[in-house]
Structure 1
Amino acid sequence: MSARSLALALLCAGQLMVILDGTIVNVALPAIQEDLGFTPATLGWVVNAYLIPFAGLLLLSGRLGDLLGRKRVFVAGLALFTAASALCGLAQTPETLLAARFLQGVGGAVTSSVTLAMVVTLFPELPARVRAIGVYSFVQSAGGTLGLLLGGVLTQGLGWHWIFFVNVPVGMAVTVLAQRTLVAEPGTARRRTTDAPGAVLVTAALMLAVYAIVTAELALGIGALVVLVAFVVRQARIADPLVPLRMFRNRTVAGALGTHALLISGIFSFQFFAVLYMRKVLGFDEVGTGLGVVPVPLLIGVMSLGVAPKVIARFGPRGVLLAGLALVASGLGLLGTVSADGAYVSDVFPATVPLGIGFGLVMPALAGLAMSGATEEDSGLASGMFNTVQQVGASLGLAVLSSLAVSRTAGLLADGTPAAEALTDGYRLAFRVSSGAVLAALAVAALVLRDGSRTPVTAGGR
């Protein structure tokens, strides 16, 4: 294995740990509740305690990677994530687990924020970069689904503690090898300090926004918006901003981020509602549910690792992106027809094929477009922005879709509809809205993005 291939493997291994941890805990929640005594009202914070710092710190961490050196930031984040994973596995009380999950979220944000930028820097020549982004995209898109399978196997076979303990040896090995293998790069920004007030504002705005989403608190959402406006005003006025607003004037960057936000807000419903449908309507156990989603990561792997680099080189990223988005929307549309007396083979599996193929095409094309508009100086920030959009889009999409599904189900139950039919109708509504969100992403990509608009954002201006 060449030095660059080893470096790519280490970067993707670290990213895979972070992505897996976002979903691996979902299957284990009932066991955690029973063992540690979480109430139904507080159990959701096992997920939220990780999600809020993760989403809130991505932008700041990406900028720190530009300022301090991305290898340094990546290794520090991975070490913190690994240590926090051990604390999660050792937790004996709800409070201890939530505190450790918060630290995991911090470490995950620091690690993930610079990974894509390091991949792009590692492979400057276009053909190799497309292949490397395909590997990264497979980790990004398939990791969450793989987490559902691994979470079921570990929880059912060894106990919930092992969904966290499994990170420790892997994280230690990757941290040591990354320290020895990755090339140390100096900070690429023009100064060694950062916009501290801006950093506080954007971190507070993102954390408040995600907290408002997961708790459905309107006042917090308004507060997040106010803080975000204050941050934007500051960035427009200072000479050396944390997030140069010129990046949003670039058609490629803005279009890719908008497409990504709509795509993720829709596609995340598959991981959530398809699992619920298989568990609560079809009666699958944890392992069966994990196996039920396996076709999606398998197809994503085939497409993003083998097919996507070739078709992107042949037809350009925009054309591949549009085709992939159409496939994803059709897969979600198929799930919008599931029935209460259905079966996996007829109701779920047919949708996994266009979902896996489409997402395996979309993510390499989209990641490449998002990074193509950034300069070397801002690539860490662009990487952080790409991941921030993913986390906030997933949170917002899930909050909206869950509310719609729960409301539809509750109304049907009140009218005397059998539980299975009421649940299924709620899931159908969520999938149909998800398909609409992906169609909106397709419209944005078609209208805004161009294969020829690859000129990076200039370093001058704000």
Structure 2
Amino acid sequence: MTTSGQTRPRGLGLALAVIATAQLMVMLDLTIVNIALPSMQRELGFSTTNVTWVIDAYVLVFGGLLLLGGRTGDLFGRRRMFVVGIGLFTAASLAGGLATTQSWLIAARSVQGIGAAIASPTALALVATTFPEGSPRNRAMAIYAGMSGAGGALGLLLGGVLVDMASWRWVLFVNVPIGVGLLLLAPFVLPSSAGRRGRLDLPGALTVSGGMALLVYGLVRAPSVGWSDAGTITAFAAAAVLLATFVLVEARSPQPILPLAFLGHRNRAGGYAVMMLLGAAMLSLIFFLTQFLQDVLHYSAISAGLAYLPLPFAVGTVGLVVSRQIKRFGTRPFLTVGPLIVAGGLFWLSFVTSSSGYSVVLGPLLLVGLGMGMSFVPLTLNAVAGVGNHESGLASALLNTSQQVGGSIGLAALVTVAATVTRDRMSQVTGALHGALGASRGAGATTTLHQLTVNATVRGYQAAFLGGAIVAGAAFLIALLVVRAQGRSATPAVAPAAESISVA
């Protein structure tokens, strides 16, 4: 059965390959750049706090415009907007790989986020509209979901290989041949569809994205210039004004990007809050652990990528088991216990030291993977339970948006915590530094200075991991106190995007 105004292609296998590859590429960029951050920081001269914008610029724009991007497909035709999104993403990847300044790279990552925000929800909609209901669509959805999950894991490993064998620029260049191939194939293998009447909620999209960006900017700025700095205060004040304006715009808009009434459902709102907090914990884990592995333990980029493999393995394995047990136990037990286990893993990781080996990292990674694997599928099923077919896309998109926005804000906040703790620690050991330098000369003094600096940096990482544990603990409390048990019949067997949440 075809949607009105749409033609279904004959080569469904090739169509699925194009859609799944596009989603793989988009999700890949949520993690592949993390491995390259130390190299980017050294070559372009980023500070410890400003380097987070390489991640935040992509994640924040992606999450902030995800709902708007999905809406463009409805209004202007899904194949057309899929091509537009992939085109933007590919061009921005080329520009980012050629970057010679910090601003250039951050701007390119922002445009990547715009392209991803258009391409990702459009790709998911194309799965639903291209494949017939029943087994073909379920099989296509499973492949799409597998690509989504694989993107985060592959990004960590591929990023390490590219940085070690070529340079950090290739973590962006790698998207170019893939994107060009998709652009050449899409017009021939994807179904065309006519748009429909309606309008884009640009005021809503601009106010929420601008407010989030200013909030993150204030958090990133505060460690270097102070919380009482006029620029920091102005950023926070402007963020508050824009976010308040967003709420007013959505309340009055006839076609809001985020219907406020949709968040009135207790379980749904609680699930989005849990995902936002888990997104913050996960992105921060990958960011800080990458810095620790490469800068403190002196892992190569490839070794750092390999070190992460237990995480996606645990997420995928546990997620598969949980998806088969939900009909028996419901979503609430897994949704409650999962964040608690994540909090335990991050708390364990907060005890790492500059002399720790990989054995100290492996256990927490497996524990975090166990908790995330228990959480992802129940979160998606909770989001779409009781939602009509015409709103299932919105429910899934909001869950993904919660993860991306929570990740960017959480990363900025925990980078602030880490930078503040490191700075305070360095101030405390200033006397010891002067004493060491005054009592000895040459290599011995340099070694002492370097070790004290490393120890102070690790203290910051410890604080960030502990902060992540607290954030995940808050997710546990929300799941425990807000999300209510549902009848087995309220839990759908298959969610539209049950596995489209990446490990990043």
TM-score, length of structure 2 as denominator length: 0.77
Contact 1:68–1:192, Cα closer than 8 Å, also in 2: no
Name the CA distance, whole Å, in 1 between partners of 2:11 and 2:102. Answer: 43
Q: 1:244 is aligned with what amino acid?
A: P
User: What does residue 328 of structure 1 align with?
Assistant: 342
Q: Which moved more, 1:87-96 or 1:313-322?
A: 87-96
Gaps of 5+ in 2: 1-9, 223-231, 433-451, 493-504
Q: Deviations over 1:357-412 (max 9, x none)?
A: 22223212212322345444344443442232222211221122222222223323
Residue 108 (structure 2) pairs with residue 100 (structure 1) = yes
User: What does residue 440 of structure 1 align with?
Assistant: 474
- Alpha-carbon RMSD across the aligned residues, in angstroms, is 3.4
User: What does residue 338 of structure 1 align with?
Assistant: 352
Matched ranges for 1:4-403 at <5 A:
10-32=18-40, 37-38=44-45, 40=47, 45-91=53-99, 96-116=104-124, 143-184=151-192, 191-216=197-222, 217-304=232-319, 306-345=320-359, 347-372=360-385, 374-403=387-416
Name the CA distance, whole Å, in 1 between partners of 2:263 and 2:200. Answer: 20
Q: 2:378 is aligned with what amino acid?
A: A
Contact 2:270–2:482, Cα closer than 8 Å, also in 1: yes
TM-score, length of structure 1 as denominator length: 0.84
Q: Deviations over 1:140-199 (max 9, x none)?
A: 5663453232222101102233212211222233444554444455557xx332344434
Q: Deviations over 1:420-451 (max 9, x none)?
A: 43333332222222122112212212333333
Name the CA distance, whole Å, in 2 between partners of 1:423 and 1:131. Answer: 47
Q: Deviations over 1:16-65 (max 9, x none)?
A: 21222233223334544565x54548655544443443233223213323
- How many equivalent residue pairs? 450
Q: 1:282 to 1:24 in 2, by over 3 A?
A: same
Contact 2:382–2:491, Cα closer than 8 Å, also in 1: no
Q: 1:385 is aligned with what amino acid?
A: L
1:451 to 486, 493, 498: 486
Contact 2:130–2:191, Cα closer than 8 Å, also in 1: no
**Counterpart secondary structure, 2:31:** helix
Name the CA distance, whole Å, in 2 between partners of 1:18 and 1:38. Answer: 27
Q: Deviations over 1:206-232 (max 9, x none)?
A: 443444444443322321221222222
Name the CA distance, whole Å, in 1 between partners of 2:181 and 2:490. Answer: 37
Name the CA distance, whole Å, in 2 between partners of 1:312 and 1:433. Answer: 30
Tell me the percent identity: 41
Tell me the CA shift for residue 344 of structure 1. 0.7
Q: 1:201 to 1:268 in 2, by over 3 A?
A: closer
Contact 2:314–2:366, Cα closer than 8 Å, also in 1: yes
Q: Which moved more, 1:221-230 or 1:204-213?
A: 204-213
Q: 1:366 is aligned with what amino acid?
A: L
